[in-house]
Amino acid sequence: MDGRSGKKLGLKERYSLMTRGLGWDTTYQPMDKVFPYDKFEGIKIHDWDKWEDPFRMTMDAYWKYQAEKERKLYAIVDAFAQNNGHLGVTDARYINTLKLFLTGISPLEYMAHRGFAHVGRQMRGVGPRVACLMQSLDEIRHSQTQIHSMSTYNKHYNGFHDFLHMIERVWYLSVPRSFFDDAYTSGPFEYMIAIGFSFEYVLTNLLFVPFISGAAYNGDMGAMTFGFSAQSDEARHMTLGLECIKFMLEQDPANLPIVQKWIDKWAWRGIRVLTLVGMMMDYMLPKRVMSWKEAWEIYFEQNGGALFNDLARYGIKAPKCIAQATIDKEHISHQAWATFYQYGAAADFHTWSPTPSELDWLSQKYPNTFDKYYRPRYEYWAEQHKQGKRFYNTTLPQLCQVCQIPMLFTEPTDPTKLCYRESDYKNNKYHMCSDGCKEIFDNEPEKYIQAWLPVHQIYQGNCFPEGTDPTKPGFEPLPAVLKYYHLENGRDNLDFEGSEDQKNFAAWRQLTTTNL
């Protein structure tokens, strides 16, 4: 049978009639009043009907397939929990990647849910409204499935206990949080380029494939299963993002420079957030999937290259930051791990020295940079740790005003020199980590001067538990900050060696193979 439908409506027509075909223009109030936010950004849309629906799932198909995914997912989550699947991971250091995920990514899924709901309300075209609504549903599904999947780890390991409290307070979590706050407080079209296109299309593979593959390689069926389950929704999100940019560019040539500016900004902001993923891939997975450098080459240079070649017909150029990102791919993971290693007393996950064979893997994967610039510090620190002098940096770092990462990045032309950039605005000075972040600041300074920078907030006295008196003699700010974070000192932080997680994992794993 060739499956030709004959008298039935095709998928495209069915979907169209069941979505935009049901919409109408308002008459009691003018459309501009009902949709007050879809013109102010300067994006011109002449014909909303030209929107081509990406994935055409009417509600019957949507619920059917989403329900199937949920059944499969929770069956696996149950089996994983029942079987003490957590003891099957390669080694307990791996579990720290999940702490980073739950505190740093899962809250963003929730923000994405709100963002798409908000944007969906603001667009006057029915096609994108429906697509945004479906994505909003998907995103809250993701936050819930992630929370459920991680809950099994929360029963046994430290650091998973208060992710909602931490996302608004902990210093490194302001990096992903401010990324989303920036997108969420932009107009609807910028939000679609920031999240729908730059994050969901260009960069998503660099977040999800490493985490999911990392889970698969390290025996973590729980995380792997939610990852795959979420990814099946992501494919729809990717097509929405791509359609969005195509639609904007096809509607009016005046949209091109606005869209280009957003692509440049959001590619860079996304790349900076992905520093955490690079570090995860190169340092936190006991069984590594591939290096950050390799992932970058496959998913950004090749795949992104194909995408921007395609978009060139509209006049779109690949993001400005590519030259810097190409250099950075050999450095940022090492620089980031060095940062978390030394600030490990204030992290909600454990850190550790790479083993000698892990150092050798890094040398092999980074022949141009690792031995020359990074091995010496890791070897020095390991040696110091052996002598009982494990390095904990207790002085707060300078943060970038835009990406909010400590100013740990180096000059693109010289990896021995920290990169310092600054701007003066209305009689105050602001500091940025790179040309990319400086340009973002200079384009919208009034936005970024409002940033809630964790280090500055600590110094303003805003990061202590209520009732704390910092003027008391002998007051020590850092323990008070940890209390404010709901981070238990000695349990949730510090080196993996000697941690409760390490002891418990070893003891429980032994129980699975012995009877005494």
Positions 287 through 306 that interact with another protein (CB under 8 A) = 289, 302-303, 305-306
Residue 394 phi, psi dihedral angles, 5° rounding: -110, 10
DSSP-assigned beta bridge partners for residue 425 = 428
Quote the CA–CA distance of 286 and 296 in Å, as a whole number.
Answer: 20
Quote the CA–CA distance of 156 and 40 in Å, as a whole number.
Answer: 50
Quote the CA–CA distance of 196 and 263 in Å, as a whole number.
Answer: 11
CB of 462 to another protein, least distance (A): 9
- Which is nearer to another protein, 461 or 465 (by Cβ)? 461
- Which is nearer to another protein, 37 or 508 (by Cβ)? 37
Give the position of tokens 């963002």: 115
- Which is nearer to another protein, 235 or 511 (by Cβ)? 235
CB of 300 to another protein, least distance (A): 12
CB of 177 to another protein, least distance (A): 15
- Region of 86-94, 145-153, 456-464, 488-496 interacting with another protein (CB under 8 A): 456-464
Site for another protein in 18-47 (CB under 8 A): 36-37, 40-42
SS3 22: helix
Quote the CA–CA distance of 371 and 364 in Å, as a whole number.
Answer: 9
Structure tokens at 76: 């696996």
User: Nearest Cα to 397, choosing from 377, 416, 418, 381?
Assistant: 418
In the chain, the amino acid numbered 101 is F
> Residue 198 interacts with another protein (CB under 8 A)?
no
DSSP code, position 172? G
CB of 511 to another protein, least distance (A): 27
Among 446, 473, 514, 515, binds another protein (CB under 8 A): 446
Site for another protein in 467-506 (CB under 8 A): none
Among 7, 46, 313, 472, binds another protein (CB under 8 A): 313
Site for another protein in 235-294 (CB under 8 A): 235-236, 238-239, 242, 246, 289
- Region of 51-59, 159-167, 269-277, 350-358 interacting with another protein (CB under 8 A): 51-59
Residue 253 phi, psi dihedral angles, 5° rounding: -60, -25
Among 301, 358, 442, 495, binds another protein (CB under 8 A): 442
User: Nearest Cα to 432, choosing from 421, 445, 447?
Assistant: 421
Angle in degrees, 0-180, between the axes of helices 106-122 and 174-184, rounded to the nearest 10: 0
CB atoms within 10 A of CB 66: 18
Size of the site for another protein (CB under 8 A): 99
| Interface map 327-346 toward another protein (x if CB under 8 A) | --------x--xx--xx---
Site for another protein in 368-387 (CB under 8 A): 372-373, 376-377, 380
CA 423 to chain centre: 27
CB of 240 to another protein, least distance (A): 10
